[in-house]
Structures are given as C-alpha cells and as structure tokens.
Amino acid sequence: MQHDSPKPSAMMVAVLRGAHQLLDAPLILDDPLALPILGAEREAEVRANPERFHDPLATALRTTIVIRSRLAEDTWREAQQRGVMQHVILGAGLDTSAYRGKLPAGVRVFEVDLPATQQWKRERLAAAGIAAPDTVRYAAVDFGTTTLADGLAQAGFDHSAPACFTWLGVTLYLAPEDVAHTLRYIASCAQGSSVVFDFVISPALLEPRERAAMEAISASLATGGEPWKSNFAPAELEALLRSMGYSRIEHYGREELTQRHLRGRSDNLRLGGSTGIIRATLGADAAAEPTQADDGAAVRANKAAAP
C-alpha cells in the first residue's frame, strides 16, 4: 500500500546523513543504516555520485545535520547512565538511532511523527530489512486532531518518569507559540527530563553572507511547500526556557561545536552560523557537568542557571 512520502526536507536530511557515511572521515555520526533507509534506488544514486554533496551549501548543511544528531545521541546515552529509560524523538523522519544496537531492558523509544510519514518510514524499514526492536513505540500524531500529550500517552509514555527528548529540524517550521507550547509540555514532565533542539537564529544576528545563505534555503523549501515560520535570538529562547522551569540551559553555537567536533580535521566540513542548538534539563541532575559538553557551553549553562 502506498503512502505519502516524507516532506522534501525530511528526505534531504536523510540523504545528507547517508552522504556523510561516504564522504567524511572520521565519521561524526556513525550510522550504518543511513544509506539503506533511503531505499535501494535513492541509495544507489547517492553512492554513484556522492561528490555532488561537496558544494559549500551542501557541506554546511551536512555538517550541521550530523553534528546535531551526534549531540542528541550523546545526550541520550548520558541520560541512560543517569537511569532515564524513555527517549522521545519528535519529528523522527528517517532517523535510525532507535534501530542501531541493543538497548537495555526496560528502555522505550517513542518516535513521534505525522501518520502518513510514519507509515511510509515503517514500510521503508521493512523493505530495507531493518527490524523494529521491541524498544520502539510509534506515536502517530496528527496535530489537527491529537495533542502530543495524548499521542504519547496512547503509545505508552509514562509522564511521571523522566525522559530524554530529541527535537531536530522541526522548530523552524512552527510558529513561535507552537514551539513554546511543545517546550512547555516537556517542562511538565518529570524532573531529570531533558530536550535537545535546534532553531534558526534571528537574521538580524547573522553576518550578511550567512543571512543570504539562510534566505536561499528558506526560499527553496517554501517553494516545496515547507515555509519557515520562526527564528529566535538565543538569549530570547534561554529566557523562555528559564521561565518554564528548565534549570540547566546549554546553548551550542558554531564556535563550541567546531571546537568539539571539527578541530583537527583535514576535510572541508564546516558549520554555518544560522543554526543554534540548545540542550535544556529539568531539575534533578541538572547541576551535574555533562560528560561531553565543551567549556563554553558549560559556562553559559551555569550563568543561565544562576538566580
């Protein structure tokens, strides 16, 4: 049975994750399923000519995509070490993290997406011979008829237990009030819960070249039916998160992420400056130093947590 494919941006992200496996060494995101999940035809296209993803714009996008995924996956591993047993991936798309390796008994991964996109992914997984482990739960949420809270509850999410939320490549397609609504829902979860999310930085804060590149990408996606609806100043988001009760807020900008993942590389991977990433944690264990965070982000987190 045929279903709607993911939106163009979801496929673009998946293709660039796959291209990373072929073009870049050492890998920032080691994802052996990134190419098979594309399907035989699209995988063959990427393998036949990966060099077409070496232009400056594709390189910057690829770098951002794999670094944000790596940060989110590192955060989930750290959360498991603290005893967190629930991982929620909002807008999962063709993300494969839940299908790589065996997770401890009792862990649950909730993939949240639009019903048609989620069904398409499940058919793509089956076609690629990628088995869905018992740890995965699918929460198909049509926001026109179902809330995130209801969708997760129906999939078995325990609101009284801490969870690690991953929310990548989504906020830019939402109005600011919808971004705030989701962050507020996560803030209502148990202490020790966390969220990693990315966002488009306000154009007024960007250098002219970065602003022009951002506008070009935005215009292209709008033509495909996916207009960008929000951008934020980092300080604005940090203040919003503090007002919601998040007690540790780490903003990762270009300098911090370059230092952490790109220092000493001989390839041409580079980050653009139009995207920011925030990791925010609620209450319990929030004061502990993250095992993977760089000093710059930790300093900002401590300042954000100060009264």
Residue 67 belongs to some domain of the structure? yes
Q: Is the dihedral of CA 237, 240, 245, 247 positive or negative?
A: positive
**pLDDT band with cut points at 50, 70 and 90 for residue 127:** very high
**Is the confidence at residue 130, as pLDDT, over 70?**
yes
Residue 254 belongs to some domain of the structure? yes
Q: Where are the beta strands (DSSP E) in 119-180?
A: 136-140, 164-167
- Percent of the chain whose pLDDT exceeds 70: 90
Residue 176: the pLDDT is 96
Q: What DSSP state is assigned to residue 276?
A: E
CATH no. for residue 191? Answer: 3.40.50.150
Residue 10: the pLDDT is 87
Domain with 163 in it: 8-305
Q: Which two tokens stand for residue 96?
A: 């494969």
Q: Are 104 and 133 in contact (CB under 8 A)?
A: no
Residue 1 belongs to some domain of the structure? no
Residue 41 belongs to some domain of the structure? yes
**pLDDT band with cut points at 50, 70 and 90 for residue 56:** confident
**pLDDT band with cut points at 50, 70 and 90 for residue 12:** very high
Residue 63: the pLDDT is 96
Alpha-carbon separation of residue 16 from 171, 253, 262 (angstroms): 19, 21, 17
Alpha-carbon separation of residue 228 from 57, 200, 216, 221, 253 (angstroms): 18, 9, 12, 8, 20
Q: Is the dihedral of CA 92, 187, 108, 78 positive or negative?
A: positive
**Is the confidence at residue 5, as pLDDT, over 80?**
no
Q: What is the mean pLDDT of residues 245-264?
A: 93
Residue 283 belongs to some domain of the structure? yes
Considering the chain, what is the average pLDDT of its residues? 89
Residue 196 belongs to some domain of the structure? yes
**Is the confidence at residue 167, as pLDDT, over 60?**
yes
Q: What is the pLDDT of residues 61-107, one digit of tens each?
A: 999 999 999 999 999 999 999 999 999 999 999 999 999 988 999 99
Residue 1: the pLDDT is 42
Residue 182: the pLDDT is 96
Q: What is the pLDDT of residues 136-166, one digit of tens each?
A: 999 999 877 889 999 999 999 999 999 999 9
Q: What is the mean pLDDT of residues 3-19?
A: 83
3-state secondary structure of 1: coil
Q: What is the Cα–Cα distance from 125 to 307, expressed in whole angstroms?
A: 47
**Is the confidence at residue 36, as pLDDT, over 50?**
yes
Residue 183 belongs to some domain of the structure? yes
**pLDDT band with cut points at 50, 70 and 90 for residue 304:** very low
Residue 2 belongs to some domain of the structure? no
Residue 140: the pLDDT is 94
Residues contacting 23, CB < 8 A, separation 6+: 50, 51, 53, 54, 62, 267
Looking at the structure of the chain, the number of domains it has is 1
